[in-house]
Structure 1
Amino acid sequence: MQGSRFGLFCRLLTGLAVLATTGSAGQAQQLRILTSMPPALTDPFIAAFRQAFPEADLLVLNKNTNSGIDEITRGNARGFDIFWASAPEAFAVIGQHHGFVAEDCPALDASGHVSFALSSIGWARRADAHIAMPGDWDDLLLPGYRGRIGMSLPSQSGTTHMMVERFLQVRGWEDGWAYFLRLTENLSTLTARSFGVIDGVRSGRFDIGLTIDFLAEVEPDLEFRYGKPVMIFPAQIGRLAGGLEPGLACDFIGFVLSDTGQRLLLDPGVGRIPVVASLRPEAPDAIPEPMRDAIRRQWQVYDARLAQRRYWAVNALFDIFISDLLPRRRELWVRLRALQGKFDAADLDLIERLLTSLPVSEQEAEREALNASPGRISDLITMTPEQDAVRTDWAAAALRQLDEADRALTALERRIRGARP
C-alpha cells in the first residue's frame, strides 16, 4: 500500500472512530479473528484498535496454522472475519478454496489478503548455555548436537512447514529431504506447536531450537541466529469469506497496514519488521543486520504457490518418514556410527543412503488430487480416500527402507561378532 493511501486511511480512521461513538448505542460489532500469532503481537494491535473503534468487540481465537486452514477450508462455520498468520502458503491454500474476499476494501488487492510484516528462520539457545552456537545450518548436523535439538511438527506448525519448504526450495527436493532425514540423528523431540520449541529451550529440555525470529528475539534469556542464506517470509493478514463483519474486518486490516499499526511492529516486545519500507529507518536497531541485508538483496523469493501445490504431501511425508519413525531412525544412526572405522566406507555409504533418501518424487508429491484438500494428516476421517491410500503406501515404503537398513547393519554387526576370538 502506498504512503498516500496510509495517510488517507489514518484520516478516515479518525472520522470512523467518531462515527462509532455517535452511532446507535449498545449495538457492538464483534470482529472474529482466527490467528496463529502469539499474544505478544496480537495484543498491542487489539488494544490500539479498540481505542480507535470503542464500539467494536474483538474475539480472538488462537489456533495453529494448519488447524486454522482446516476450519476455513471446511466452510468457516463460525463466521471468522480475519485470518492472521506467518506462513504465506497458508494464505495460498485458503485462497485456492476461495476463502478470502476483497470487495469494497481498499486495503486489499484481488487476493483478499496482504503482507504486513517480514520474518525469517534460524535457531535459538539459552543465553547462559555452554553449548556452542551453530554457525550455519550444516553445523546442526555435527556430532556435538546429537539429541540436543528440538523443532516442531510441520503438520502442526505453519512456521515449521515454511522451514521445511525453505530447504526444499533452496536445496532442491532430494537434498532438502536429505537434510531433515540426517537431522533425525540429532533431534531430541518434535513439539506440537512452535511455542513448544521456545519453551523447550528455555526450560533446558533441549539445547538448540529451530524457530522463527519473532518468537525467539522477544525472549530476553534466549539468543537467536539466522540461518543463511536468509530467505524472507512475508507474514500476512486476510479478510475471510463468510465473515460476519466484513466492514469492520477491512477497518482492522487497514489499521494493521497504517503507519500507526506498522510502528507497533517495531516495539521490542513485538519484534517484527514492517512491510512499509519508509518506517524502518525510524528504528534501525530493531532490524537485525542479516534481515537488512536480505531485504536489500532479495536473492531468492519464497514461492508460496509452490508450497501450496504440495502442502498436504510435505506435511504427510514429514510425519511418515520422520516424526512417526524418529526413535527407530535414531537407533539406526547410533548403530551406523558404531561401525565407522571398522568397515570400508562403501559398506556404510549404502546404509547412510537408505537413511537419507526419500523414495517419493517431487512430481508425485505435487499431484493435484493429493493436495486439493489440506486435510489433517493424522485423522483418517478428514483425509480423502486417495490421501488415505497414498499415506498407507508411503508408510509401507518408509518401513521397507528402514528394514533394509536394519538388515544391512545386522549383517555387518554379525561379521564383527564372528571375527571375535
Structure 2
Amino acid sequence: MLRTSRNLRNAAAALGVLLLSGTAAFAQDASGKLVIVTSFPKDMTTAFQQAYQKANPKVTVEILNRNTNAGVKYLQETASNNGVDLFWASAPDAFEVLKGAGLLQPYKPKVEGIPEKVGAYPVNDPEGMYAGFAASGYGIMWNSRYMKANDLPIPKEWADLTKPAYYDHVAISAPSRSGTTHLTIETILQGEGWEKGWRTNKEMAGNYRTITERSFGVPDGVNSGAFGVGIVIDFFALSSQASGFPVEFVYPTVTTIVPANVGVVKNAPNKAAAEGFVDFLLSPKGQEVLLEPAIRRLPVNPVTYEKAPAGYPNPFKDKSLGSQVNFDVNVSQARYNVVDALFDQLVTFQLDDLKAATQAIHKAEAALAKKPNDKAKALLGEARDLVAAMPVTAEQAADPQLAGAFTVERKSAKDAVPERQAQVEQKWAAFAKENYANARKKADEAAALAR
C-alpha cells in the first residue's frame, strides 16, 4: 500500500494548485471550523480536505470518520446538541434515514451541468436534502497473478462465485459494518428477488475465505494476494489499478450505479462553509479530483470524463451499466437493519458452519458427476435448499415492527443487545445452525450413495 499512499500525497499536493483558481469563488465568506462526518477512507478525504482549505484558508476542515451505520447513529444521538455540518457518504439509503428523521436541511448547489439521473437513479434528492457528487457501481475485483497461480477462471457474474472452483478464494466485508457492502447485498436482493437473491448471497458466502470488518480490508487483501477475489465498490479496484496492483474488475449484469452523496446537517454550526464544500465537490475542478489515481470515482458531471484515462467507466455513455436493476431506495430503507442482521446471523457469525455445508455439497456434486444416482441427486437438492432457506419473507423484512427490534449495531456475536433484538437474532442463528448441519448431513449421504 506504500504506492497508494505516495500517489495520494502527490495528488493532494497537486490538487491544491489545481483547484485553487476553480473553487475560490465558493464560500468566499466562509470561515471557522467545518465538521464533516464521513465513511470515506482517510486517503480520499485528505485530498479534498487539503484542497478545500487551500482554496478557503479561513476554514479548517475537521473529519470525523465513521462507517455509514455508525455515522447515522452518531447524528441521531447528537441531534439535540449538533456539532456537525456535513454528512458525506456513499449509501443513498443512509441519507434517506437522516432525511426521514429530519436531520438534514435543504441546499441547492450553485453548480450547472449536472444531469438529473445517473443510469436510472436520480443524482440529487428531489427535495434538495442531499446531493450526489460521484457515482459508484458494485462488482467483482480479482488479483490476476493469484488467479493464474491458482488456475481460477475469471468471474463475470455473481453466480460464478458460487462455483466450487472459488471455495476459500473470495472475501467480502460485513454489510453491518460497511454501507457499500450493504448496497451490494441489497442490489442482488432487488435484482434477483428476495428468495433467489439470498440463495445467491449465501452460496457465494459458502466460498468466502473471510469477512472483513471494514470495506477497505477487501481490496487490501486482493492487492496483497491474501485472497484472490473480492466483492467491492468499483473505486477500490480502479484506484488499485492506478497504483500498479495486478488487479481487474467487472460489473456483473445485476448491479446498480448510484450516487455517493453529501448533505448539510440540520442546525449546522457552519452552514456557509458546509454549502461551500458542496459546491466545491461539484465544481468542474472538484469533479476532476475524482479522477486522481488514488481516488478513481465516477464523476456526476459528464464533461469531466473528457479528461478521464482511456477505458475509464462512464455510466453516461455506457447505458448498460446498472440498467438491469431499478434500485428502490425506499425498499432498501424499510428493511435496512433487517438485511444487515440477517446477513450477520446467517453468514458472518455462522461462516464456519456454512463453509462446511458448502464444501460437503461441492464434494457430493463431484461424486455425482462421476456416478449419477437419483436418490443422491434429490438429497443434494434438499441440502442446497436448506442452505438457501430464509427465516423471514420479504414482506416480513419490511415490517416496521421487525425492523424496530434492531436498535444496537453489533460488532461481534458477543455484543450485548436489547432483549427483543437478542431474541430475534438467536432464533435466526439457531435456524441457520440447524439448517447448515442438516445440509451437510444430506450432502454427505448423497456423496456416500455416489461412491
The two structures have a TM-score, normalised by structure 1, of 0.85
State which drifts further: 142-151 or 241-250. Answer: 241-250
Q: 1:353 pairs with 385, 389, 401, which one?
A: 385
- Give the whole-Å Cα distance in 1 for the aligned partners of 2:284 and 2:239: 22
- Give the whole-Å Cα distance in 2 for the aligned partners of 1:374 and 1:285: 46
- Give the whole-Å Cα distance in 1 for the aligned partners of 2:389 and 2:436: 11
Q: 1:184 maps to which residue?
A: 205
1:83-115 deviation digits (Å, cap 9, x = unpaired): 111111111122222221126976786342111
Q: 1:248 maps to which residue?
A: 273
The answer to whether residue 408 in structure 2 is matched with residue 375 in structure 1 is yes
Q: 1:200 pairs with 221, 229, 235, which one?
A: 221
**Letter paired with 1:51:** K
- Give the whole-Å Cα distance in 2 for the aligned partners of 1:34 and 1:410: 50
**Letter paired with 2:239:** V
State which drifts further: 66-75 or 124-133. Answer: 124-133
The answer to whether residue 143 in structure 2 is matched with residue 122 in structure 1 is no
Q: What is the Cα deviation at residue 294 of structure 1?
A: 3.2
**Letter paired with 1:69:** V
% identical aligned pairs: 31
**Letter paired with 1:234:** P
- Give the whole-Å Cα distance in 1 for the aligned partners of 2:357 and 2:184: 25
- Give the whole-Å Cα distance in 1 for the aligned partners of 2:354 and 2:27: 59
**Letter paired with 2:233:** I
**Letter paired with 1:170:** G
**Letter paired with 1:205:** A
Unmatched 5+ stretches in structure 2: 1-20, 112-124
- Give the whole-Å Cα distance in 2 for the aligned partners of 1:292 and 1:40: 28
The answer to whether residue 104 in structure 2 is matched with residue 100 in structure 1 is yes
- Measured on the aligned residues, the alpha-carbon RMSD in Å equals 2.9
- Give the whole-Å Cα distance in 1 for the aligned partners of 2:299 and 2:35: 24
Q: What is the Cα deviation at residue 272 of structure 1?
A: 1.3
Contact 1:95 1:111 (C-alpha < 8 Å) held by counterparts: no
The answer to whether residue 284 in structure 2 is matched with residue 259 in structure 1 is yes
The answer to whether residue 303 in structure 2 is matched with residue 278 in structure 1 is yes
Q: What is the Cα deviation at residue 58 of structure 1?
A: 0.7
Contact 1:123 1:209 (C-alpha < 8 Å) held by counterparts: yes
The answer to whether residue 358 in structure 2 is matched with residue 333 in structure 1 is yes
1:19-48 deviation digits (Å, cap 9, x = unpaired): 56xxxxxxx511111111123432232122
Contact 2:92 2:260 (C-alpha < 8 Å) held by counterparts: yes
- Give the whole-Å Cα distance in 2 for the aligned partners of 1:295 and 1:225: 13
Q: 2:86 maps to which residue?
A: 82
- Give the whole-Å Cα distance in 2 for the aligned partners of 1:194 and 1:81: 25
Contact 1:230 1:294 (C-alpha < 8 Å) held by counterparts: no
Q: 2:343 maps to which residue?
A: 318
CA spacing shift, 1:377–1:370, aligned 2, 3 Å = farther
The answer to whether residue 58 in structure 2 is matched with residue 49 in structure 1 is no
Contact 1:370 1:387 (C-alpha < 8 Å) held by counterparts: no
Q: How does 1:7-46 map to 2 (within 5 A)?
A: 13-14=24-25, 16-17=27-28, 19=29, 29-46=32-49
CA spacing shift, 1:390–1:16, aligned 2, 3 Å = closer
**Letter paired with 2:384:** E
1:50-97 deviation digits (Å, cap 9, x = unpaired): 122101111112221121122122234562211111111111122222
Secondary structure of the corresponding residue to residue 390 of structure 2: coil
Secondary structure of the corresponding residue to residue 30 of structure 1: strand
Q: 2:318 maps to which residue?
A: 293
CA spacing shift, 1:12–1:266, aligned 2, 3 Å = closer
CA spacing shift, 1:116–1:181, aligned 2, 3 Å = same
Contact 2:85 2:271 (C-alpha < 8 Å) held by counterparts: yes
Contact 2:254 2:322 (C-alpha < 8 Å) held by counterparts: no
Contact 1:185 1:329 (C-alpha < 8 Å) held by counterparts: yes
Q: What is the Cα deviation at residue 238 of structure 1?
A: 0.8
Secondary structure of the corresponding residue to residue 262 of structure 2: strand
CA spacing shift, 1:34–1:304, aligned 2, 3 Å = same
Secondary structure of the corresponding residue to residue 168 of structure 2: coil
Contact 1:120 1:226 (C-alpha < 8 Å) held by counterparts: yes
- Give the whole-Å Cα distance in 1 for the aligned partners of 2:161 and 2:26: 53
- Give the whole-Å Cα distance in 1 for the aligned partners of 2:298 and 2:440: 48
Q: 1:25 maps to which residue?
A: none
**Letter paired with 2:130:** H
The two structures have a TM-score, normalised by structure 2, of 0.80
Q: 1:234 maps to which residue?
A: 259
Contact 2:107 2:128 (C-alpha < 8 Å) held by counterparts: no
- Give the whole-Å Cα distance in 1 for the aligned partners of 2:440 and 2:207: 19
**Letter paired with 2:136:** S
- Give the whole-Å Cα distance in 2 for the aligned partners of 1:295 and 1:29: 45
Unmatched 5+ stretches in structure 1: 1-9, 21-27
Q: 2:170 maps to which residue?
A: 149
State which drifts further: 291-300 or 66-75. Answer: 291-300
Contact 1:13 1:52 (C-alpha < 8 Å) held by counterparts: yes
Q: What is the Cα deviation at residue 297 of structure 1?
A: 7.9
- Give the whole-Å Cα distance in 2 for the aligned partners of 1:144 and 1:297: 27
Secondary structure of the corresponding residue to residue 105 of structure 2: coil
- Give the whole-Å Cα distance in 2 for the aligned partners of 1:350 and 1:54: 65
- Give the whole-Å Cα distance in 2 for the aligned partners of 1:157 and 1:15: 32
Secondary structure of the corresponding residue to residue 36 of structure 2: strand
Secondary structure of the corresponding residue to residue 25 of structure 2: helix
**Letter paired with 2:421:** Q
Contact 2:239 2:295 (C-alpha < 8 Å) held by counterparts: yes
Contact 2:107 2:275 (C-alpha < 8 Å) held by counterparts: no
State which drifts further: 102-111 or 151-160. Answer: 102-111
